[in-house]
Amino acid sequence: MGFTFTEIMPAWPEIFLACAAMGLLVLGVFMKTGAARSISWLSVLALVATGILEIVVVPDGGRVHIFNQLFVADVFTTFVKCLILGASAVGIIMSLGYNDREDIARFEFPILILLATLGMMMMVSAADLISLYVGLELQSLSLYVIAAFRRDSVKSSEAGLKYFVLGALASGMLLYGSSMIYGFSGSTNFLQLAKVLDADASAGIIVGLVFVMVGLAFKISAFPFHMWTPDVYEGAPTPVTAFFAAAPKMAAMALFISVLVGPFGNLVAQWQQVLVLIAIGSMLLGGFAAITQSNIKRLLAYSSIGNMGYALIGLSAGTKDGYSAVLIYMSIYLVMTVGAFAVVLCMRREGRMVEEVKDLAGLSKTQPAMAALMALFMFSMAGIPPLAGFFGKFYVFLAAIEAKLYILAIIGVLASVVAAYYYLRIVMTMYFTEPVEDLDRNVGPELSTIQAIAGAFVLFFILFAEPVVQMTNQAIASLTSG
Amino acid sequence: MYVAAVFLPLLGAIIAGLFGRAIGDRASQLVTCGLMAVSAVFGCVIFYVVALQGLDKPLIIPVFEWISVGDLKVNWSLQFDTLSAVMVFVVTVVSCLIHIYSIGYMHHDPGIPRFFAYLSLFTFSMLMLVTADNIVQMFFGWEGVGVCSYLLIGFWHHRESANAASIKAFVVNRVGDFGFALGIFGLFAMFGSVEFVNLLADGAGAEALKKTYQIAGYSIAGQDALNIVCILLFVGAMGKSAQLLLHTWLPDAMEGPTPVSALIHAATMVTAGVFMVTRMSPLFEYAPIALAVVTVVGASTALFAATIGLVQTDIKRVIAYSTCSQLGYMFFAIGVSAYPAAIFHLMTHAFFKALLFLGAGSVIHGMSDEQDMRKMGGIWRKMKVTYTMMWIGSLALAGIGIPLTIIGFAGFFSKDTIIESAFAAHTGWGEYAFWLGIVAAFMTAFYSWRLLFMTFHGKTRASSDTFSHVHESPPIMLIPLMGLALGAIFAGALMVDLFVGDKFKEFWGGAIFILETNKALEHAHHVPMWVKFSAIAVGVGGITVAVFYYLLIPSLPALTARVFRPLYVFFLNKWYFDELFNFLFVRPAFMFGRFFWKKGDVATIDGLGPDGIAATALRSSRLVAALQTGFVYHYAFSIMIGAVALISLYLLGVMR
Amino acid sequence: MVVQALAFYAFAAVLISAGIMVVVSKNPVHSVLFLILCFFNAAGLFVMMGAEFLAMILVIVYVGAVAVLFLFVVMMLDVNFTELREGFARYLPIGLVIGVVLLIELIVLVSGAIPIGKASGPVAKAIAKQPSGHNTEMIGRLLYTDYFYLFQAAGMVLLVAMIGAIVLTHRRRDGVRRQSIAKQTARKSSESIRVVDVKPGEGL
C-alpha cells in the first residue's frame, strides 16, 4: 500500500513540523554561540507556519482518515491543533528571557517543545490505539526532558524524574488497557471499534477502557492521578510549568474527548460514571488543597487540577453541547493560565525568581498595570462575570444540567466557590497588603505583550463569545459525524 | 465611514490606555485627538448625509451577533437615522473640541495618557449609546458612559472629595439604571424583542394597548403596562440626566477636571436620558400618564435647579445647576410631545454649555485653580478672549434674541420653542411647565450675569499674589472655545427651521413619532404675542436685576440675603436634599447594615456557616497537603489505588 | 500438542517466578540476572507463537544491550539498596491487597464469570492472515506499508530520547583534550619537524 503526497495532505502540518524540528536541530548544532535565541524564534516561526498550513489543509466537513486509518483529520482536530500550536509558540516566547537569565538557554529547548507539540498533534489526530500511544509517548518523553531541563537544580531534576517514573506507570496502564481492548474486541482501530462496540459490550472492554482512561486522566492530572502535578509544577523551570499547564492539557483533553466519543461513543452510560467520579474528585481537591498553598506555582497546579475537573463535567454530560463546552472551557483556560504564568514569570527580585504568594504583596502600588491584569486573570478563573472564565463555567454547568447531572453541577458550583477563595486571596495580597520589597520592573516586552493580549481576551470575551461557540459547535459536529 | 466614526475613539482609547506609558504623553494626545478629529469629520458627513439629505429608512449596519440565549437574540449593529445622526454630530464635534482643549488644560498633569484614554473611551460609549439599534446595546453604552464618568470624576483619585463624588455619582446612577433595567425587562416581556425595529415599529405601541399581559400571575391591561414600563425607563433617564430626586450627584461631579465637566456633565452624557426618551417616543406617545410625569418632573427640576444656581458661589457649581435646570426644560418639552424641540435644545445646549464650562475652566486655569467666585473679580482686562466667550455663552444660555426674526443666539430659538410648546399644549401640566419655565428663565438670566459680574468685574477679591499671576490661556485652549462660540451663536439660527420649523416632520422622518392629536409643536408657532415675548422679557429683566445687584449697588445681595434669610439658606443648602437623602436612605442603610452584620452575620451565619465551613475547608486542605508527601512510590501507589478503585466500583456496579 | 503445552507452561512459570524474583531479591545484581532470565523465557514464548523475529530481537536488544547496561549501572553506582528497600515491608500488605484485588478482578473478567454484555472473546475479526512467508519479511512489509506512519513516529520518539539523553547529561568541560582529525590530517611535516644541524661535540 502506498500513499501519494496529496493523499496524505491532512498530515502535511505534522510532516512539516517534524522536518522543521530536525532541520533546526541540525542548524542548532552547527551554529556556534547564541544559537538558543535565533533557534527559538525560528521555532516560533515554524509553529506559526504549521498553524497556517493546518488551516489550509483542513478538510471541509466530514473526517478524513489516512495512513491506513491510523490518522484522522477534521475540523475538531484543526481547532485543537491550532490552539496547541499557539500555546506552544507562546510557551517558547515566554521562556526566552528566563532561560537567558537562569543560564539554561540552549537551542535544544525549543526543539524539544517542537517535538512535544508534534506529539500532541499526533495524539489529537490519533485514529488508532497504537497511534494514540506513540503520539502520547512522543509528547511525554519531550516533556520529561524539559521538566528536568535545569539539570543543575536538584528540584528540576527531581521533577523530571518523578514525572518520568509516574508517567511511565501511567503509560503502562494505558497500554495494558489498550491490549485488553484489543483482546476483547479484535481491533485497535477507532472506526472498527465504533462499529463493533455497542451499549452492551463485554466487561473486558470496559475494564480496558477504564485503564485507558486512567492513563489519560494522568495526563490531564485529574484526581486521583494528579499527585505528580504540584511537585512537577513547582520543580520544573517556570516557563516549562507554564507550558505544561497549557498545551499538553489541551491535547490530552482533546484526546480524551476523541477517544470517548469516537470508538466508545456507544458506551456513554459506562464511562460516564467513571468520569463523574473523577470530575468531582478533581474539583474538590483543586478547591480545597490550594487553600493552604503558599507557593504560587503549586497553587496554580491545584488550580489546574480543579479546572480539569470542570472541563470533565462537560465531557461527562455525554452530549454534543457538553463536548463543545469542554472545548470552550479549555480554550479559555488556556489563555487565562498563560496570562497568569506570564505574571508569575515577572516575579523577580534583584534578578532572582520568587514564587511565594506573599511576594505579590502590594503589587497594585508598585506595578499597577500588572496587578490589574493578574487580578483580571484571578477573577476570571474564579468565574466572575462578565470575564471569560465565567462563560467557560457557565457552558459546562449548563451542559451538565441539560444532561440531568444535577449533583455534579451543584458540587461544581460549590467547589468553584471554594476555589474563588484562593484566587481572591491573591488579589487581596496584591491590593490590600503593603509591599515588602519591590519586584523588578523590567519584565521585557514579550511577557508584557502576552499579559496584555491575554488580559484583553479575558476582558472582551463577552463580545465574541458567539463566534467561539459556533466554532466549537462546528468542531464537535465534524467529530461526531462519524 | 459609519463604523469608523464610532470605533475610532475606541481605537484611540486602547492605544492611549494600554500603550500610553510606552509612547509617552505627547503621542497619546496626538493619537486620541487625531482619531477624534477624524471621527468628528465623519460625524459631520454623517449629519449631512443622513439628516440633511435624508434617508428613506434608518440605515442599520450589523457589526456582529452578540448574545443568543433562548428567545433573546441581540445583534451588535449601528443604526443611523436623523436622531442618531444629530447626536453623533454633536458628540463627535464637541468631544473633539474638548479633546483639543484638554491638551492645554491638563498639560501639567501626570496622568495624561490615562485621561485621554478615558475621554476617548467615554466618547466611544456615548456613540455606542446613540447608534444602538436595540435597547440592550443602548444599555451597554449607557453603562459604559456611567463607568467612564465614574472614572473621570474620580480622576484625581488622591483627593478624598473626588473619590466620594465619583462613588456618589455611581450609586445614584445605579438607582436610575435599576429602573432602566426593569424597563428593559418589561419591554421584553411585552414585545418579546429588544430590537428597535420591532419595539418602535408603526403601531407597535397601539397594538400593545389592546393586549393584556400576564406578569407573575397578575393580568395587566396594555395601557397600564405601557405606562409602567415608560415610567421605569424615565426613572433611568432621571438618573442619567440628573432630574429632581436623582440630581444630587451632578453638582458633586464637578470634582472632576473641567473638560470632563464640559464633555460629560454638560454636553453629552447627561443628555443621554433625553435622547433615550426621545428614541422611545413611539411608546411614550401611547403612555399619557408617563408623559405627564415627565412634564412635571422636568418643569420642577428646571425651576428648582435655577433657584439653587442663584446662590452658589463655586463657579462650576453654578453652571452645573444651570445644566440641571436646562435638562429640566428638555424633559418638559418631551412631556408635551415636543421631542424635536427637546433635541434642538439638546444640541444648542451642548454648544453653549460646553462653552461656558470650558470658559470657566479657562478662568480657573488662569486664576491658579481658584473656583470660588467670591475670590475673583476684575479680571476681564487680563483675559479678554475668555471674557468675550463667557459673554457669548451667557447670552446663548439666557436665550437672547429678537422674536419673530432669525436674529438671536442659539439658546433663544430652542428655549423659546420649548416654552411656547408648553403653552401651546393647552393642558394642565403644560400650563404648569410654562409658568415654571418662565420663572426659571428669569433666574437663569440673573445667575448667568451674576456669574459674569462676580468673576470678571468689580474690584478683585483675589489675593494680590494670585491676581498678579492671572493670565490668558494658551491658544490651544482658546481655539476650541471659539469653535464652540460659533456653535453657540449660529447653531440656533441655522437649524431652527429644520429642527422645529413647519417642515419638521420631513426632517425627522421616522426617527420621532408624535401622535396626530398632540400638536403642541405645530401650535407653538401660533401662540399669542405676549407668550412669544415673555421669555425674552424675563431674560432681559433678569440681566437688568443682575446689573443692579452686582454692578451698581453691590450691597444689595447681602441685604436681600438678610431679608429673605430662610429662603436664602434653603437655597444655599440645595433645598436640603442631600441631608434628606442622608437621613432617609444612607443612615438607615448603614444602620441596617450594621445590625445585620453584627447580629445576623457575625453571630448567626458566620458562627454556623462560613466560619465553620472555612475551618473545615482549612482542615481538609491540610489533610490533602499532608498526603502530598513527595515520595514517588506514594504517588505511584495512589495511581494504582485509583485505578483499582475505579474498576472495582464499576464491576460492583455491574454485579449489583 | 502435549509437548507444546508443556513447553508453554514451563516457559510461563519460569517467566513469572523470575519476575517475582526481580522484585524481591536482595542483591540488585541478582535482580538484573533474573531479569535476563525473564527475557529469555519471553523469547521462548515468542518462538512458540511463531514470532521468531521478535524472539531474536528480544534476546539481542534486551539481553545483549539493555540488561547488560543495567548491570553496569547497578555495579558502578554506589546506591544503598538496603536503604531504598526499607519501606518494602511497611507497604507490602497494602500493595498485596491491591495486587490481589486486581488479579481477582482480571481473572473474573477473562474467565467470563460475569455474564454481562456479549460473551467475552474477540468480537471483531483480527487482522487478516497475511500470505505466508518469512516472519521477518512479513514484519518488514507491514512496517513499511500499513504501519509506515507508526514507524516514522517511533523514529521521532527515539530522536527525542537521544536529544534528551544528550541535553541532560552532556557537559562541555574545559581542559579536556580532544582529538581533532581535521587538524591532524592538515598537519604538514614542515610544521612539525625541525631539522637541526647538531654540531658534533657541542650538543644543543
Q: Pick from A310, A325, A312, A277: which is nearest to A416 by CA?
A: A310
| C176 in a structural domain | no
Angle at CA of residue C84, ends C82 and C87, nearest 5°? 100
Instruction: For residue B654, give the nearest of C91, C101, C116 by CB distance.
Output: C116
Task: Give the mean pLDDT of chain B.
Answer: 79
Q: Based on the domain organization, do C113 and C68 belong to the same domain?
A: yes
Looking at the fold, whether C102 and C144 belong to one and the same domain comes out as no
Domain co-membership, C19 together with C98: yes
Is the Cβ pair C124, A118 closer than 8 Å? Answer: no
Phi-psi region of B242 (alpha: psi -120 to 50; beta: other; left: phi over 0): left
Owner of C-alpha cell 476555589: A419
Whole-model pTM?
0.62
What residue ranges in B295-398 does DSSP mark as E strands?
none
Assess whether C125 and C157 both reside in one domain: yes
| Chains with ≥3 CB–CB distances under 8 Å to C | A, B
Note whether C18 and C58 are same-domain residues: yes
Q: Do A142 and C122 touch (CB under 8 A)?
A: no
Rounded distance, CA C121 to CA A175, Å?
19
Q: Residue A439: helix, strand or coil by DSSP?
A: coil
- CA A138 → CA A117, A161, A164, B28, C154, distances in Å? 9, 17, 13, 49, 8
Distance CA B514, CA B499 (A): 14
By C-alpha distance, the chain C residue nearest B640 is C98
CATH (domain of C24): 1.20.120.1200
- The C-alpha cell at B411 is 439658546
Q: Is A61 left (phi over 0), alpha (psi -120 to 50) or beta?
A: left
- Does the residue C200 lie in any domain? no
Put simply, the answer to whether A225 touches B638 (Cβ < 8 Å) is yes
Between the alpha carbon of residue B620 and those of residues B472, B476, B633, the distances in Å are 70, 65, 23
User: Please, what's the b/e burial string for A260-283 (b: 16 or more CB within 10 A of its CB; e: otherwise)?
Assistant: bbbbbbbbbebbbebbbbbbbbbb
C-alpha cell at B626: 499532608
Q: Show the cell assigned to B209.
A: 394597548
At A141 the pLDDT is 94
Domains contained in chain C, number: 2
Chains with 3 or more CB pairs under 8 A to chain A: B, C
CB atoms within 10 A of CB A229: 28
Contact yes or no for A63/A262 (Cβ under 8 A): no
DSSP code for B110? T
Would the pLDDT of B158 be above 80?
no
Say if CB B446 and CB B544 are below 8 A apart. no
The answer as to whether C56 is a domain residue is: yes
Angle at B357 between CA B353 and CA B361, to 5 degrees: 165
Q: Which of A184, A189, A211 to mutate to test the interface with C (most CBs of C within 10 A)?
A: A184
Q: What is the mean pLDDT of residues B480-495?
A: 83
> Helix A238-261 and helix A296-317: axis angle, to 10°?
10
List of chain A residues whose C-beta atoms are within 8 Å of the C-beta of residue B642: 214, 223-225
Please give the pLDDT value at position B341.
86
pLDDT digits (tens, 9 = 90+) for A376-414: 999 898 888 788 888 888 889 888 888 888 888 888 888
Pairing of strands B72-80, B212-215: unpaired
Interface probe with A: pick from C167, C169, C171, most Cβ of A within 10 Å: C167
**pLDDT at residue A213 in the model:** 93
Q: Which of C83, C103, C105 to mutate to test the interface with B (most CBs of B within 10 A)?
A: C105
Nearest CA in chain C to A130: C150
> What nine digits make up the cell of A435?
509591599
A289 with B641: Cβ contact below 8 A: no
Inside any domain, residue C157: yes
Cell of B193: 424583542
Give the model's pLDDT for residue B548: 81
A190 CA: distance to closest CA in chain C (Å)? 12
pLDDT tens per residue across span C112-126? 655 555 544 555 554
Decide if A211 touches C, using CB distance below 8 A: no
A195-229 pLDDT, tens per residue? Answer: 888 777 777 888 889 999 999 999 999 988 988 99
Q: How far apart are CA B551 and CA B531, in angstroms?
A: 30
Residues C100, C145, single domain; the answer is no
Cell readout for B604 is: 448567626
* Per-residue pLDDT reduced to its tens digit, B554-564: 777 777 777 77
The verdict on C69 and C146 lying in the same domain is no
What is the C-alpha to C-alpha distance for residues B21 and B15, in angstroms, rounded to an integer? 10
Is C149 within 8 Å of A1 when comparing Cβ atoms? no
The rounded distance, in Å, linking the Cα atoms of B289 and A272 is 59
Q: Kindly report the nearest CA distance between residue B70 and chain A, in angstroms.
A: 13
Residue C129 sits in the same domain as residue C145: yes
In this complex, which of C87, C98, C105 lies closest to B651 when CB atoms are compared? C105
In a domain, C156, yes or no: yes
**Are C36 and C100 in the same domain?**
yes
| pLDDT value of residue C120 | 46
Flag if B644 and C98 touch (Cβ within 8 Å). Answer: yes
Q: Is the pLDDT of residue B171 over 70?
A: yes
Residues C38, C102 within the same domain: yes
The residue segments making up the domain with residue C72 are 1-80+92-117
Q: Is residue C150 part of a domain?
A: yes
**Three-state SS string across B580-596, please?**
HHHHHHHHHHHHHHHHH
DSSP letter at A290 equals G
Same domain, C3 and C96: yes
Could you tell me which residue, A446 or C203, shows the higher pLDDT? A446
Among partner residues C124, C160, C168, which is closest to A151 by beta-carbon distance? C168
How high is the pLDDT of residue A89? 94
Indicate the residue type of B413: F
Residue from A104, A113, A134 whose CB has the most chain C CBs within 10 Å, to mutate: A134
Burial (CB count within 10 angstroms: exposed 0-12, middle 13-18, buried 19+), residue B604 = exposed
Higher pLDDT, B214 or B415: B415
**Chain B residues closer than 8 Å to C116 by CB:** 654
pLDDT of B575 higher than 70: no
* C17 lies in some domain: yes
pLDDT in tens, chain A (482 residues): 567 778 888 889 999 999 999 999 999 888 866 788 889 999 999 999 999 999 888 877 678 888 888 999 999 999 999 999 999 999 999 998 888 888 888 888 999 999 999 999 999 999 999 999 999 999 999 999 999 988 888 888 889 999 999 999 999 999 999 998 888 888 888 888 888 887 777 778 888 899 999 999 999 999 889 889 999 999 899 999 999 999 999 999 999 999 999 888 888 888 888 899 999 999 988 888 888 888 889 889 999 999 999 999 999 998 888 999 999 999 999 999 999 999 988 888 877 788 888 888 888 888 888 888 998 999 898 888 788 888 888 889 888 888 888 888 888 888 888 888 888 888 888 888 887 777 777 777 888 889 899 999 998 888 888 888 888 888 888 888 76
My answer on whether C2 and C50 are in the same domain is yes
**pLDDT(B282) > 90:** no
What pLDDT score was predicted for residue B593?
63
